Amino acid sequence: MKNTYPKHEKLKSKTTIDLLFSEGKSVSKYPLRLVYVPAVLENEERIKFGVSVSKKYFKKAVDRNYFKRVLRETYRLNKELLLENMVQPYAFMFFYQTKDKLTYSEINEKTIQLFQKFVEATKSESK
């Protein structure tokens, strides 16, 4: 599988984002949070993914953009954990929720743990 983050995987639909915040479920692994909702996607797409870093924690756009880039990169490298275990398409929103500036390797480790937690949560929901 190619480790890419193509344009068709980016979450841009306002209605899907609103659906995530109103009906989405979430899993957390400090300082990361993953909100997800089953989605109806076109063209046999399996995933829509967005990232967010709060202005509350990082006032400077430079810092927010850095952490958004790191979150997208950790998703790109670890998305096969999600895709291998998904039975239906999902829309995701990935949040960085602390003012602590973690290193890339710490964020990557937490991302893997968070994705594994999501897989366990969806397996228990489908039973």
Q: How many Å apart are CA 19 and CA 61, to the nearest integer?
A: 26
pTM of the predicted structure, to 2 decimals: 0.91
Q: How many Å apart are CA 58 and CA 89, to the nearest integer?
A: 32
- The pLDDT value recorded for residue 44 is 80
H or E element: which one contains 126? Answer: helix 104-126
Q: By CB neighbour count within 10 A (0-12 exposed, 13-18 middle, 19+ buried), where does 32 fall? A: buried
- The pLDDT value recorded for residue 1 is 63
- Residue 35 in domain: yes
Give per-residue pLDDT as tens, 28-75: 999 999 999 998 877 888 999 999 999 999 999 999 999 999 999 999
- Residue 127 in domain: no
Give per-residue pLDDT as tens, 8-30: 899 999 999 999 999 999 999 99
- Residue 122 in domain: no
**Domains of the chain: total:** 1
Domain that holds residue 87: 8-117
Instruction: Give the domain CATH number at 23.
Output: 3.30.230.10
